């Protein structure tokens, strides 16, 4: 009987359609105990007997793959795979899959939750009232302001749709997106420097790669409007956190809404901790009740498809392993 390791702690020992899909296909499910992402030591313990892993926020490295002779599939719940050593997986003929189209609405909702929390002073007003204060200072509306989207995939499009409903102007930088999408969402396409110069709020929606790592640095931030906002629900590594801290402390940026950080949970010395004009959330943008169920179900289906030697091309990241691949 093939076995599958359940990685995300939100899914371990929990019911759901994904569990029935895997059980009906003949898989034994391995559910480690714990309420956090699997540690390196836990992965070292469980991966050697796993044929597949339904993965969440685990860092899957080359040394772990070397310990897992039976591993055939890493099925990621989500669309990011920067925590997976893709080259090492491919070299060992391990298929890596993602779950496109399952959590973009959830990320878009969290993006707007952060935009509104900052724009309307939600967090600071709440703290003030709890402290027996009453601060009714005026705030700037989001209507009429320009939202700049860096990245216009499914998530960026979902954010654009909501921005239009709020009466915002939307500009975007994404050279790969089709012109039909630009027209459909009434978006103005700009180059990166033009977008930074024109936007009142910038929201990041692009993957973490060697080209994008640290792209939001001191120079980038200096080009943003004085008093503008930065939102990141993509990947923490896109931002140089010390540079963002300096921009916030100086008052150049009015605030930042961050669902992701370079190290999660943040280390005690994180330069952004304690900054009053930063609103955090704990990397939950893509995981509400519905999206978590949808991601787990699609990940399970991709594993079953591969087990039956069918190729779910829309979900496979490293298609190079297809030639001659069999379970």
Q: Residue 237 and residue 83: Cα distance in Å, rounded?
A: 11
Contact call for residues 96 and 271 (beta carbons, < 8 A): no
Q: Are 54 and 300 in contact (CB under 8 A)?
A: yes
* Complete DSSP assignment for 74-85: EEESSS--TTB-
Give 48's DSSP letter. G
Q: Distance (Å, rounded) from C-alpha 45 to C-alpha 104?
A: 33
- 306's CB contacts (< 8 A; 6+ apart) are 52, 72, 73, 95, 97, 312, 327
Contacts of 73 (CB under 8 A, 6+ apart): 51, 52, 53, 94, 95, 96, 97, 302, 303, 306
Q: Report, as residue numbers or ranges, the catalytic residues.
A: 235, 264, 283
Distance of alpha carbon 321 from alpha carbon 76, whole angstroms: 17
Tokens of 261: 């950080």
Contact 4, 22 (CB under 8 A): yes
DSSP string, 205-260: -----TTTTT-BSHHHHHHSPTTEEEEE-S-GGGB-HHHHHHHHHHTSEEEEEES-
């Amino acid at each position: 009987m093939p076995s599958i390791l359940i990685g995300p702690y939100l899914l371990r020992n929990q019911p759901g359609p994904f569990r029935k899909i895997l059980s009906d296909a003949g898989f034994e499910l391995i559910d480690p105990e714990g309420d956090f992402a699997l540690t390196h030591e836990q992965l070292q313990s469980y991966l050697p007997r796993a044929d597949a892993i339904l993965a969440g926020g685990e860092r899957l490295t080359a040394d772990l793959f070397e310990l897992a002779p039976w591993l055939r599939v890493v099925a990621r719940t989500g669309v990011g795979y920067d925590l997976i050593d893709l080259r090492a997986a491919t070299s060992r003929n391990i298929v890596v899959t993602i779950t496109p189209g399952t959590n973009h609405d959830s990320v878009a909702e969290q993006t707007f939750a952060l935009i509104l929390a900052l724009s309307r002073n939600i967090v600071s007003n709440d703290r003030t009232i709890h402290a027996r204060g009453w601060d009714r200072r005026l705030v700037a509306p989001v209507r009429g302001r320009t939202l700049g989207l860096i990245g216009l995939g499914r998530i960026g499009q979902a954010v654009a749709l909501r921005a239009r409903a709020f009466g915002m102007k939307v500009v975007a930088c994404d050279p790969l997106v089709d012109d039909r999408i630009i027209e459909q969402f009434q978006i103005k396409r700009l180059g990166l420097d033009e977008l930074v110069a024109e936007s009142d709020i910038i929201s990041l929606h692009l993957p973490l790669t060697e080209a994008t790592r640290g792209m939001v640095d001191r120079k980038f931030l200096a080009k943003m409007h004085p008093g503008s906002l930065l939102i990141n629900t993509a990947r923490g590594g896109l931002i140089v956190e010390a540079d963002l801290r300096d921009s916030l402390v100086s008052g150049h940026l009015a605030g930042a809404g961050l669902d992701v950080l370079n190290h999660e949970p943040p280390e005690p010395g994180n330069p952004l901790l304690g900054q009053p004009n930063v609103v955090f959330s704990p990397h939950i943008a893509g995981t509400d009740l519905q999206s978590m169920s949808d991601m787990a179900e699609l990940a399970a289906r991709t594993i079953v498809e591969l087990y039956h030697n069918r190729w779910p091309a829309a979900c496979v990241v490293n298609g190079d392993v297809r030639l001659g691949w069999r379970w």
